[in-house]
Structure 1
Amino acid sequence: MNTIQPLNPILFEIGSLQIHWYAVLIISGALLALWLSIREGKRVGIKSDLYFDIFLYGFPISILCARIYYVIFKWSYYSKHLNEVFAIWNGGLAIHGAIIGGAIFLIVLCKKRREDTLLVLDTIAPNFILAQAIGRWGNFMNQEAHGGVVPGADLEAQRQFLENMRLPDFIINQMYINGAYYHPTFLYESLWNILGFILLIILRRTKLFYKGDLIASYILWYSFGRFFIEGMRTDSLYAFGTLRTAQIISIALMVGSALFILIRRLNKNKREKRYIDYLENRFFI
């Protein structure tokens, strides 16, 4: 068992510059989300320039906010290791920080451009959760964001537990960390996000969704899954006691998004047009 070697988190090197899988996967997910959002935006009459600006300015702002969020809640460590504050290639990006920072930037930009903020968010929501699914594999390469040790009296039993889940060897081997096998919670969240992406792109072509429901449904879906998966992780940021920060935020986001959807349906005066009414061609996914 001790001969198992983890995958190299560095994709390649150019001189002293190291290109990490973590960064490549996050950027790849963001680029895919950009392309899909531009395609969907054209169908509802939103210019591509807006999405390029969201990517060029909003993406780095989101990364910065994700790091700031993480460092704040881990300040007891980073206050003693200031040289690591900006070492994001080693991991340590909090998705809730990215969502908050990115959302604020997008709202300000849409107001400045006089774009329909909810409609823009609706076109982005399914693609953003897909980007999150891809980004989680960066955690896999870094052997982080994993759960606790899997059941088993010894290493053989632990490995058998993962094999019974029909996981490929490369995932099982990467989950062998410091002499034990761990739950691949990165995979659980990635699969949950992919399922959310599939549901959102199917349902957005039905009459179920009004404008604003897509972004609210994304928040509700992601937060529900994140709440339970977070409870399995060993690297969580804690608010107080055993309650984890991400779980508190997930509860708040679930309640907020559910109320947003419910109240607008009960109040016909505030009901928006259906999302499909904005589409020039509703038969494209």
Structure 2
Amino acid sequence: MNFDLLALNPIALNLGGLEIHWYGVIIAMGALIGVIMAMREAKKRHLDPDNILDLVLYGVPIALVGARLYYVIFELPYYLANPSEIIKIWHGGIAIYGGLIAAFIVLLVLCKKRNISPWLMLDIAAPSVLLGQIVGRWGNFMNQEAFGAKTTLNFLQSLHLPHFIVEQMYINGAYRQPTFLYESVGNLIGLALILILRNRKYLLKRGEVFLTYLIWYPAVRFFVEGMRTDSLYILPGVRVSQVLSLVLFFVAIGIFIYRRKNENDPWYNEL
């Protein structure tokens, strides 16, 4: 039986030749929910919610460029040989870390111009970003990408996954590890934890919601990345995302400890 035929259609709508992909629909839904969540939190922290809209307006397109450039840099031989492919983002090839770096720069510039605490803005934005990453992995699911090594039907069934997920994990003639799901669930746990912690008084200080995200997400990504088959490599056997995850993880812990010892920041939930 050819299980490839059971794969879900990645095209949501076809409007007179214009194809709307589920990937884009899912990403847009995640972004919308994230923006609403961030705007509500901004209002609670006495920050004009319009600043969140402006961050999205400027940050999203620049983040897409950053995500693409990051990918192109680590696949440079191919793109030097095929320069016309560089702008064809619809052929695949974006990296979340590149997008996060670009968005981070936009956030710092916006906060500088408007005299807003970058730590406060990062605290407000971090849970929404994590939500976007949780939802975004289901876009990868629809495209049958970001999967892991070959596995067996029995293994997937032992995870008690819904049948449609098992079917979608039959890719190129073999069942695959659902690494998209591992990362999505791992980040969902992290999001729940962050939302619980940030609402407790006298627990997290300004900047520590973001630092908690910067500890949690790289930890999840490090382990999941080691299972994927489509990683970018900085050296043979050395995955770029795993190296960057380790750096961010330990830097975030170091900053967390340093700020607790040396800075008298306000409590996040008392702003």
TM-score interval for Structure 1 and Structure 2 normalised by the shorter chain: over 0.9
* Mapped pair 1:220 → 2:221: no
* Mapped pair 1:93 → 2:94: yes
- Residue in structure 1 matching 2:190, options 187, 196, 200: 196
8 Å contact 1:204–1:275 — kept in the other structure?
yes
Alpha-carbon distance between aligned partners in 1 of 2:17 and 2:65, rounded to the nearest angstrom: 24
Deviates more, 1:248-257 or 1:72-81: 72-81
When residues 46 and 74 of structure 1 are mapped into structure 2, their CA distance, relative to the original with a 3 A threshold, is same
Deviation of the 1:3 alpha carbon = 4.3
Amino acid at match of 2:246: I
Equivalence map 1:34-49=2 (5 Å): 34-49=35-50
> Which residue does 2:68 correspond to in 1?
67
With structure 2 as the length reference, what TM-score do the two structures score?
Answer: 0.96
Deviation of the 1:82 alpha carbon = 3.1
When residues 53 and 96 of structure 1 are mapped into structure 2, their CA distance, relative to the original with a 3 A threshold, is same
> Which residue does 1:125 correspond to in 2?
126
* Mapped pair 1:208 → 2:203: yes
Equivalence map 1:169-184=2 (5 Å): 169-184=163-178
1:168-212 per-position Cα deviation (integer Å, ceiling 9, x unaligned): 111111110111100010010011111111000100012220000
Alpha-carbon distance between aligned partners in 2 of 1:136 and 1:257, rounded to the nearest angstrom: 24
8 Å contact 2:4–2:173 — kept in the other structure?
no
8 Å contact 1:20–1:89 — kept in the other structure?
no
* Mapped pair 1:165 → 2:181: no
Deviation of the 1:4 alpha carbon = 3.7
Amino acid at match of 1:108: V
Q: CA RMSD in A?
A: 1.2
Alpha-carbon distance between aligned partners in 1 of 2:31 and 2:4, rounded to the nearest angstrom: 32
Deviation of the 1:91 alpha carbon = 3.0
Q: Secondary structure at the match of 2:150?
A: coil
Q: Percent identity?
A: 46
8 Å contact 2:4–2:172 — kept in the other structure?
no
Alpha-carbon distance between aligned partners in 1 of 2:133 and 2:76, rounded to the nearest angstrom: 25
> Which residue does 2:232 correspond to in 1?
237
Alpha-carbon distance between aligned partners in 2 of 1:79 and 1:186, rounded to the nearest angstrom: 30
Residue ranges of structure 1 left out of the alignment (5+ in a row): 151-157, 279-285
> Which residue does 2:267 correspond to in 1?
274
> Which residue does 1:21 correspond to in 2?
22
Deviation of the 1:245 alpha carbon = 0.2
Deviation of the 1:14 alpha carbon = 1.6
Deviation of the 1:128 alpha carbon = 1.0
Q: Secondary structure at the match of 1:239?
A: strand
8 Å contact 2:3–2:170 — kept in the other structure?
no
8 Å contact 1:59–1:102 — kept in the other structure?
yes
Alpha-carbon distance between aligned partners in 2 of 1:96 and 1:21, rounded to the nearest angstrom: 22
Q: Secondary structure at the match of 2:183?
A: helix
Alpha-carbon distance between aligned partners in 1 of 2:81 and 2:13, rounded to the nearest angstrom: 30
8 Å contact 1:69–1:97 — kept in the other structure?
yes
Alpha-carbon distance between aligned partners in 1 of 2:65 and 2:99, rounded to the nearest angstrom: 8
1:137-176 per-position Cα deviation (integer Å, ceiling 9, x unaligned): 11111111101011xxxxxxx1111001001111111110
Deviates more, 1:256-265 or 1:86-95: 86-95
* Mapped pair 1:265 → 2:266: no
Alpha-carbon distance between aligned partners in 2 of 1:164 and 1:87, rounded to the nearest angstrom: 39
1:201-229 per-position Cα deviation (integer Å, ceiling 9, x unaligned): 10001222000001111011000010010
8 Å contact 1:9–1:20 — kept in the other structure?
yes
Alpha-carbon distance between aligned partners in 1 of 2:23 and 2:89, rounded to the nearest angstrom: 9
Alpha-carbon distance between aligned partners in 2 of 1:248 and 1:27, rounded to the nearest angstrom: 29
